[in-house]
Amino acid sequence: MGTKRIYTANFQLKVCGITQAENAIEVAKLNPTMMGFILYPKSKRCVSLEQANSIADLLPKHIKKVAVVVNEPLEKVIQLAESTLFDFIQLHGNESPEYCQTVSKHIHVIKAFGIEKQLPDNLEEYANCCTYFLFDTKTENFGGAGKQFDHKILDSYHLNVPFLLSGGIDLDSIDRILTYSNKQLAGIDVNSRYEDEPGIKNIEKLSNLIKRLRPMIKKVSKEGYYGNYGGAYIPEMLQKNVSELAENYQRIIDDPSFIEDFQSLLKDYVGRPTPLFHAKKLSAKYGYKIYLKREDLCHTGSHKLNNVIGQALLAKRLGKKKIIAETGAGQHGVASATVAALLGMECTVFMGEVDIQRQYPNVMRMKMLGATVIPATSGTKTLKDACNEAIRYWISHTEDTHYLIGSAIGPHPYPDMVAQFQSVISEEIAKQLQEKEGRSYPDAVIACVGGGSNAVGAFYHFIDDERVELYGAEAGGCGADTDETAATLTIGTDGIIHGTRTILMQTEDGQVCDAHSISAGLDYPGVGPLHAHLHSIKRGTYLPITDQEALDAAFELTREEGIIPALESSHALALLPKLKMKPTDIVVVNLSGRGDKDMQTYIDLMNSGKK
Ligand SMILES: O=C(O)c1ccccc1NCC(=O)[C@H](O)[C@H](O)COP(=O)(O)O
């Protein structure tokens, strides 16, 4: 038994032996990462190339299609690779290293090996041409036999090629496989144990499997895409730094010693787990059970520290001595300055001039912690301009500096990295609900969305769980139909901002619009690519909340529950009266930050007699 993999987002689930269109569409709804078509004539699940192509054509693009062949003539496989919809060819017979090498020039190769008593002696000869190995049980018919081999045999596997584990994987073996510690285990391949008859998959069984795997299912592609959104659109000068991060981040954050350092700081420095508080008066008022996830109780006053600690530990392991950060409300700037002080790193924070005035106490906190605060004086002098300045600075200081992005935005791997570091929020919600309610999921989770880091963390472990509704509260400002708004997903269109393809507020000729919100942490004209994806596939519901609604919600929470929330989090609270829930439903609001930094806004409102 090894260390439990907690942050492995890139886990592959291949469902193999697809034969029928309607069944394939149902399987695809469960969102496996790969679906396999067996073109081997002797298989009970064999489909013709025409059938495979017409089914594959019906499936979403982001699910990779795999053609499985056994000892076919090389020319036929090359033709197959070049003329079809497949993303991978799985060579499931006795194909030689030279054969695989030739095929790999045309398409990604998965080489399958039937295992009996030991690994093949010549595995190394296949290493440079295969994207994955697949270790299956050796049987007369090559595959699909539903039999397991002794997984201990894989302890001697030390090559760098990631592998998929296959052969009779059923629900009973999943927990053991999830704790299996071989670093090259990249996913599992399932087939006959999830069938009603050969080639017809049992959706309920697969759905149960997916629930068990949920925390591990891949949410981002290798290139950093969530569906159509994400990627890395960066200037040449940043290529080296961003590629270095992309190539190393997953390995580093999966390292048991990193996990240990990260978790120990989350516990003893941040103060995790944060409480899940039953807000009884709010629940009575709205007629369903409301819990608040108290990220406001994190050291420094918001969820921001989770990600900052993760990235700063990562930066240190990459040999960086300095960090730079952008900040809107000042929460991420304070968190960055805090961790820089803790870990002995130099810290520079870019902050819009307008935000410097709005959030003056946070500016002084950053300075007290030893950070340099540089005002962004271009554009609206807010968060977007701070990001621009930080990127500009980074271009000329790449060698020793890590750009510590504070939201789930920016080029790959930032959105995924931030999501993984913040996923501790939903991981804790699931555990705490299990203890309090006897079930590990709520009926809905609500979080505010600017760039989207607290929301991504609160949603993360529930994204693949259709029982959980995901609600994002955007900053509507003076109204989503006015120019004074930051309701990106409500009014935005596809484009590129700060290195990622996402949805943003822009003019018809592609000029980024100015964003407005009463809350400095939400007035961003873009949004993280995962939210753009969840919005586009209708997995998440994103609604605009006006400045006034957020203010009302802030005072409501203060007076009903004795908690002064940040203006950002008040947007999430303002969704409560808009939801249609049943009395037995459980709703979790991610209370992302505390209201100290917004006291001047609250004071002005009270002094004006409006509250
Ligand atoms: O599934 C088949 O019928 C098959 C026949 C010949 C070659 C490969 C075949 N399947 C390929 C796979 O990747 C299967 O998923 C793998 O063998 C595991 O199957 P199972 O033991 O049923 O889970």
Q: For the chain, which residues make up each domain, given as ranges?
A: 12-213, 225-270+301-413, 276-282+289-297+425-609
pLDDT computed for residue 108 by the predictor: 94
- Closest to 532 measured CA to CA, from 589, 494, 569, 481: 494
Which atom of ligand 1 is nearest the CA belonging to 189?
A: 15
Protein residue whose Cα sits closest to atom 2 of ligand 1: 144
> DSSP labels for 349-407?
EEEEHHHHHHTHHHHHHHHHTT-EEEEE-STTSSHHHHHHHHHHHHHT-TTTEEE---S
Which residue bears the tokens 């000869």? Answer: 125
Tell me if the domain spanning 12-213 has CATH number 3.20.20.70.
Answer: yes
Instruction: Report the pLDDT averaged over residues 582-587.
Output: 97
> Considering only the top CATH level, what class is 225-270+301-413?
alpha beta
The rounded Å distance from CA 605 to ligand 1 centre is 67
The rounded Å distance from CA 93 to ligand 1 centre is 11
Protein residue whose Cα sits closest to atom 6 of ligand 1: 143
The rounded Å distance from CA 190 to ligand 1 centre is 8
Distances (CA, A) of 463 to 202, 214, 303, 472: 22, 8, 19, 13
The sign of the dihedral angle between the CA atoms of 235, 237, 242, 248 is: positive
Residue 214: band (very low, low, confident or very high) from pLDDT cuts 50, 70, 90: low
Which atom of ligand 1 is nearest the CA belonging to 45?
A: 3
What are the tens digits of pLDDT across the range 282-309?
999 999 999 999 999 999 999 999 999 9
Protein residue whose Cα sits closest to atom 13 of ligand 1: 16
What are the tens digits of pLDDT across the range 397-411?
988 999 999 999 999
Protein residue whose Cα sits closest to atom 7 of ligand 1: 143
The rounded Å distance from CA 12 to ligand 1 centre is 16
What are the tens digits of pLDDT across the range 105-151?
999 999 999 999 999 999 999 999 999 999 999 999 999 999 999 99
Instruction: Report the pLDDT averaged over residues 548-567.
Output: 98
What are the tens digits of pLDDT across the range 159-184?
989 999 999 999 988 877 876 767 78
The rounded Å distance from CA 167 to ligand 1 centre is 7
Protein residue whose Cα sits closest to atom 8 of ligand 1: 143
Protein residue whose Cα sits closest to atom 11 of ligand 1: 143
Task: Please list the active-site residues.
Answer: 304, 326, 592
Cβ contacts of residue 185 below 8 Å, gap of 6+? 154, 162, 163, 165, 177
- Look at residue 437 and give its three-state secondary structure: helix
pTM: 0.67
CATH topology of domain 276-282+289-297+425-609: Rossmann fold (3.40.50)
Which atom of ligand 1 is nearest the CA belonging to 46?
A: 3
Identical fold at 12-213 and 225-270+301-413? no
- Look at residue 38 and give its three-state secondary structure: strand
Question: What is the spatial distance between Cα 500 and Cα 491, in angstroms, rounded to a whole number?
Answer: 18
Token pair, residue 551, equals 């203010």
Question: What is the spatial distance between Cα 86 and Cα 92, in angstroms, rounded to a whole number?
Answer: 16
The rounded Å distance from CA 250 to ligand 1 centre is 29
**What residue ranges line ligand 1, CB within 6 angstroms?**
16-17, 36, 38, 40, 43-45, 68, 70, 92, 136, 141-146, 166-169, 189-193
The H or E element containing residue 326 is: strand 322-327
Cβ contacts of residue 514 below 8 Å, gap of 6+? 379, 380, 483, 525
Best residue among 27, 92, 171, 188 to mutate for probing ligand 1, ranked by most atoms within 8 Å of CB = 92
Q: Please tell me which residue, 300 or 465, carries the higher pLDDT value.
A: 300
List alpha helices for 33-96, DSSP H.
49-56, 74-83
Which atom of ligand 1 is nearest the CA belonging to 148?
A: 21
ipTM of predicted complex = 0.92
Question: What is the spatial distance between Cα 282 and Cα 557, in angstroms, rounded to a whole number?
Answer: 8
- Give the chain's mean pLDDT: 92
